[in-house]
């Protein structure tokens, strides 16, 4: 009997203990989830926005007034009852005052093509088994978001949920009336990302103010662009870097707006600072991010020490990583794709759709490589080029593609057109 009882105990009791342990685990998990359900509490009904208004930037265009400020983590917590900034979202408070006789609409994709919806952000704070709380959370986020339209003679304020920008944020807002566009460009500070040192944006403004020469004549300006060095250099100046293949001309806000509208984001990596021009690393570095987070192309930008007809001049390296997006390479090993002219031309075509490009021209200055020749650059990179720089003039949008003028500074397009005609003739023989 003793032996038989022992066998039954060894067979029957362990499953009971296992079942009991599973029930305890499930109940513990349920308790944790239920505890999480009660974690979000609606903040006080009235949010004091005096701090936001005090640091807001304001601009007025033809009877429409826009004010905007980036929310800090504390602002988000007090306004939404949740740390939105910590979820990888940058909330921006905006207020539009409409003194026109038109009904106005804010066009969200112009601000951020990847803008988050209010319910999308709210969903990230949902918890299981909390349907009623989650519904309240959704309603709260929706009620505080910016709502269209803006009726004549009214003010409308609310929050839009954007992708994060560091230190300073360029905010591009397009407001549409009855056949009329009201474009705004504001530079906003990011409260949680300020340092004691000057920010990159402040440095850029200082360099713009320091520009001495202002060329009024197109021929003189062309000659000055052709006299620029072909390439950046290493820090000691002994090795040639990547080619300086693009010139941007225009007000800083118009240029940055055009780049942001085409998906460029501020993103400087360690190897970017190796390139030097005017005895300094790039003043701005932007990257256009593609699916999967791989960098598509980059632009390294330096403020030139001269202007053209009162407009700021920027010298640019337009490049793309070797291997394109199909090859995984560590950031430290990102090397220049040798076909730099193609990348330059991609940038021209990209900015054609920015609604701010007014004129295109080409000048020499980089120096052409011979057929089959590769020119060395930093980090073991090499490239070939036709030796030309694209000169792109940008103005306040909106412009259409038909407004863009091609200046007859260099016969680049005519030469390509002649080559195409010759090829057609040879193919037909």
Flag whether 178 is in a domain.
yes
Flag whether 17 is in a domain.
no
For residue 128, give the CATH number of its domain.
2.60.40
3-state secondary structure of 263: coil
Structure confidence at residue 20 (pLDDT): 55
Flag whether 143 is in a domain.
yes
- Helix 73-80 to helix 131-144 angle, to the nearest 10 degrees? 120
**The token pair that represents 66 in the structure block:** 């826009």
**Tens digit of each residue's pLDDT (9 = 90 or more) over 150-202:** 999 999 999 999 988 877 788 889 999 998 999 998 989 888 775 533 467 78
Assess whether 222 and 367 both reside in one domain: yes
Flag whether 230 is in a domain.
yes
Q: Determine the longest span between alpha carbons in the chain, in angstroms.
A: 113
Structural domains counted in the chain: 2
**The token pair that represents 275 in the structure block:** 């390139």
Q: Which domain holds residue 167?
A: 50-193
Query: What's the pTM?
Result: 0.73
Assess whether 183 and 274 both reside in one domain: no
Q: What is the mean pLDDT of each run of 10 residues along the chain (429 residues)?
A: 40 51 53 50 80 92 96 92 91 96 91 88 87 90 94 95 83 91 90 61 89 95 97 95 97 90 84 95 87 73 97 96 60 74 94 92 96 93 95 90 92 63 52
Structure confidence at residue 199 (pLDDT): 63
Assess whether 147 and 165 both reside in one domain: yes
Q: Which of 87, 56, 94, 89 lies closest to 172, judged by CA?
A: 94
Cα 20 to chain center, whole Å? Answer: 54
**Tens digit of each residue's pLDDT (9 = 90 or more) over 365-412:** 999 999 999 999 998 899 999 999 999 999 988 888 889 999 999 888
| Pair 325, 290: CB distance under 8 Å | yes
Query: Across the beta sheet with 64-70, what order do the strands follow?
Result: 57-61, 64-70, 90-98, 154-162
Flag whether 34 is in a domain.
no
């Amino acid at each position: 009997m003793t032996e038989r009882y022992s066998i039954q105990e060894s067979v029957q009791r362990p499953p009971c203990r296992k079942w009991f342990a599973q029930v305890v685990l499930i109940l513990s998990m349920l308790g944790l989830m239920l505890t999480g359900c009660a974690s979000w509490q609606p903040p006080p009904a009235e949010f004091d926005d005096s701090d936001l208004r005090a640091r807001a930037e304001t601009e007025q265009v033809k009877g429409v007034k826009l004010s905007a400020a980036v929310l800090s983590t504390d602002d988000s917590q007090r306004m939404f009852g949740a740390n939105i900034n910590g979820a990888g979202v940058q909330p921006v408070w905006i207020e539009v005052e409409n003194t026109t006789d038109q009904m106005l609409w804010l066009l969200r994709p112009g601000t951020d093509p990847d803008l988050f919806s209010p319910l999308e952000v709210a969903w990230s704070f949902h918890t299981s088994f909390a349907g009623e709380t989650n519904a309240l959370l959704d309603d709260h986020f929706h009620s505080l978001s910016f709502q269209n339209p803006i009726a004549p003679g009214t003010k409308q304020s609310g929050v839009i949920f954007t992708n994060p920008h560091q230190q300073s944020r360029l905010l591009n807002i397009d407001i549409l009336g009855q056949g009329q566009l009201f474009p705004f460009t504001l530079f906003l500070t990011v409260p949680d990302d300020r340092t004691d040192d000057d920010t990159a944006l402040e440095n850029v403004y200082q360099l713009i103010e320091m520009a001495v020469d202002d060329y009024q004549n197109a021929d003189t300006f062309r000659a000055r662009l052709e006299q620029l060095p072909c390439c950046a250099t290493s820090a000691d100046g002994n090795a040639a870097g990547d080619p300086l293949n693009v010139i941007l001309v225009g007000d800083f806000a118009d240029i940055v707006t055009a780049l942001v509208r085409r998906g460029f984001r501020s993103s400087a990596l360690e190897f970017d600072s190796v390139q030097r021009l005017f005895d300094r690393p790039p003043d701005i570095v932007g990257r256009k991010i593609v699916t999967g987070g791989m960098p598509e192309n980059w632009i390294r930008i330096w403020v030139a020490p001269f202007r053209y007809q009162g407009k700021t001049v920027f010298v640019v390296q337009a490049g793309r990583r070797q291997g394109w997006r199909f090859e995984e390479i560590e950031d430290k090993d990102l090397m220049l794709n040798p076909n730099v002219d193609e990348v330059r031309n991609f940038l021209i075509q990209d900015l054609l759709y920015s609604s701010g490009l007014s004129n295109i021209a080409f000048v020499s200055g980089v120096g052409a490589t011979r057929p089959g020749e590769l020119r060395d650059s930093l980090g073991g990179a090499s490239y070939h080029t036709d030796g030309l720089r694209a000169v792109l003039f940008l103005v306040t949008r909106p412009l259409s593609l038909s407004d863009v003028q091609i200046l007859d500074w260099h016969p680049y397009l005519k030469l390509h057109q002649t080559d195409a005609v010759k090829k057609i003739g040879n193919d037909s023989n």
